[in-house]
Structure 1
Amino acid sequence: MAIEETETQVILSHPSDSSTNVTILKYGATVFSWKLYGQEQLWLSTAAKLDGSKPVRGGIPLVFPVFGKNESDPLLSKLPQHGLARNSTWEFLGQVKSNPPTVQFGLNPKLSNPEMTKLWSEDFNLILTVELGSDYLKTEIEVENLSSSKELKFNWLFHTYLKIPDIEDTMISNLVGMKLYDQLLKESFVDKHPCVTFHGEKDVIYQNVEADRVIQVVNQGKPVHTVKRVNLPDSVVWNPWIEKSGGMGDFEPKTGYKEMVCVEPGHVHDFVVLSPGEKWTAAQILSKDELKYQAIQ
């Protein structure tokens, strides 16, 4: 079967090769495993909770309606870090395509975490579409403002944990010349380095990245991941390194930082604002394309 549903998960297998598959947890609608020809592409903490008790550490958590912890907006500041989407059980809406196998999940205030909807009482509808290609994984989000009178203001982010061989041999290409905000230094500047390298904790937000920029994770000169964005102008690059990993109870093994890097397409340096009845869609596409170097235009 191309689509298998259990009480807590949905599993898609590609019809041409069942060793290419994706597993989505209904809690958070979190993709926590994506295998290409049997090889895992996503990093998942061995201490990740898959029982709905807390957001998953690893895979592709969904960040909505706020990125990080907001401290200025009177409504969004009431929410915990990264909002309510990853803390809520989504409804499995079913299969919408057989080849490539494609499914949808939905979330609205009636379904979302009740403790959080008390804090943020906006009227929204989310539809997540997960499409498993023979050599790619596409996750697409549609956000609709269901209010008839109020604007809807939000951030969105695919918090993607990519599995890699070794962080010290890894770099990220095609972000040279892009403006970034360094969340550790609390400074903004243009990145003039030909590639992003890792020698310690990294937590940066690349802002307004050109739409045609193809972000690639490269290990020892070979591309291991390609990240394409649709209507997502920002990209967070994150690795917790030694000290931060040690302080996170659900990050295991503590040396796991060596085998993961987060490249997170989103809309986070400012807010998306939807008028009443308006919809917004965006997507990320993960694949393993050939090396493509894009210089400063």
Structure 2
Amino acid sequence: MDRRNKPSALAATPALPPQARVDLVGDRVTAVLPSGESVDILLTGATVLSWKGAVNGGEPAERLWLSEGAVLDGSKAVRGGIPVVFPVFGQSPADKATSKLPQHGLARTSRWEFLGKSTSESEATAGAGSSSAAASSNGVQLDFGLSAASADPALKALWPYDFALLYRVTLEPGSLATSVVVTNEGDKAFDFQVLLHTYLRVDDITKVGVDGLAGAPYSDKVEGFKQKVQAATGLVDITSETDRVYVPAQGAAQPLTVLEGGAPRYGVKRDNLSDVVVWNPWADKTKSIGDFAPKDGYKNMLCVEPGSVSSWTTLEPGEAYEGAQAITLL
């Protein structure tokens, strides 16, 4: 028998969009997006070991260079990926408190703590004026922490300041961003340098150029820190051992583009990291780097490293500093 007042069908609950999968296994944190793009971080140094990104919905491919001889057991810094350099870049001058620390400081060899994950919202849908329902959580943020209390005790003893580092790795379709916040949690000021030592993967270094550094002064470490100025036009080409600290006139506001064979491959934007280190060891230098493998691997990598290293940043007690980079596939 028909009923005149049938109850209306319950509205179906909208299905949640696919979410990123995040796993912590041993000393590795791995995140995989629904698109298949992924990032792999080692807790030693919070070092990004792998970034597999896709262009225009294509198949994800490895975008970072990692030495086949890299040591991943925490006994030394990782050769490749994105190590975090703090509180000194290179070897410290003798008149600085960091003078007893090893090259590139203590962050890249200390074991960091994984603080957790959260979703990231694309700027296209989650900008000003958008509702939370309209925001698209198409990425993932991974947070890591290091403090004076948790840093390598042997290294901490060489630089006795109370600090805290918060490192965030954000993976989104076609891009990877890394940011670091340095906080002075002690009662005395300290000076520091910071840098994101990014090893980008390329197919043929002889066809690679960097745009965005024209006219910039730089320190040439290969020639004993000789002060030079990049040509006012053209790209930075890599034709031999290259180790330069650029100080672009526009600071962090100057975007960078890494091209290969004349085609844009990576875009690099910086926030509060006004310097750029460009490094490739070339054939002869790799012979003296024990964990660099294969020895002809220099043909497939280029370090483009945003940092604040041409001078020192002073943090007073209670103050914080933040710097970041965003790498986009082009």
TM above 0.5? yes
The CA deviation at 1:209 is 4.6
Q: What amino acid sits opposite 2:204 in the alignment? A: D
Aligned with 2:37: secondary structure? strand
Quote the Cα distance in structure 2 between the aligned partners of 1:179 and 1:3: 42
The CA deviation at 1:137 is 0.4
* Partners of 2:277 and 2:303 within 8 A in 1: yes
1:216 is aligned, of 247, 252, 257, to 257
1:167 aligns with 2:205: yes
Match of 2:26 in 1: 7
**Residues 222 and 74 from structure 1, CA distance in 2 versus in 1: closer, same or farther, beyond 3 angstroms?**
closer
1:111 is aligned, of 142, 145, 150, to 150
Q: Tell me the TM-score normalized by structure 2.
A: 0.84
Quote the Cα distance in structure 1 between the aligned partners of 2:265 and 2:248: 24
Match of 1:236 in 2: 277
Quote the Cα distance in structure 2 between the aligned partners of 1:244 and 1:36: 30
Deviations 1:132-152 (A, max 9, x none): 01111010100000013x112
Aligned with 1:276: secondary structure? coil
Runs of 4 or more above 4 Å deviation? none
Q: Tell me the TM-score normalized by structure 1.
A: 0.94
* Partners of 1:209 and 1:235 within 8 A in 2: no
Q: What amino acid sits opposite 1:161 in the alignment? A: Y
Greater fraction of residues in strand: 1
Match of 2:92 in 1: 70
Q: What amino acid sits opposite 1:214 in the alignment? A: P
* Structure 1 residue ranges without an equivalent (≥5): 290-297
1:146 aligns with 2:185: yes
Larger Rg, first or second structure (1 or 2): 2
Quote the Cα distance in structure 1 between the aligned partners of 2:184 and 2:315: 6
* Partners of 1:23 and 1:32 within 8 A in 2: yes
* Partners of 1:32 and 1:44 within 8 A in 2: yes
**Residues 209 and 8 from structure 1, CA distance in 2 versus in 1: closer, same or farther, beyond 3 angstroms?**
farther
Deviations 1:62-88 (A, max 9, x none): 000000001223421100000000010
The CA deviation at 1:163 is 0.2
Bigger Cα displacement from structure 2, 70-79 vs 254-263: 70-79
Q: What amino acid sits opposite 2:111 in the alignment? A: T
Match of 1:191 in 2: 230
Quote the Cα distance in structure 1 between the aligned partners of 2:318 and 2:93: 27
Quote the Cα distance in structure 2 between the aligned partners of 1:195 and 1:101: 34
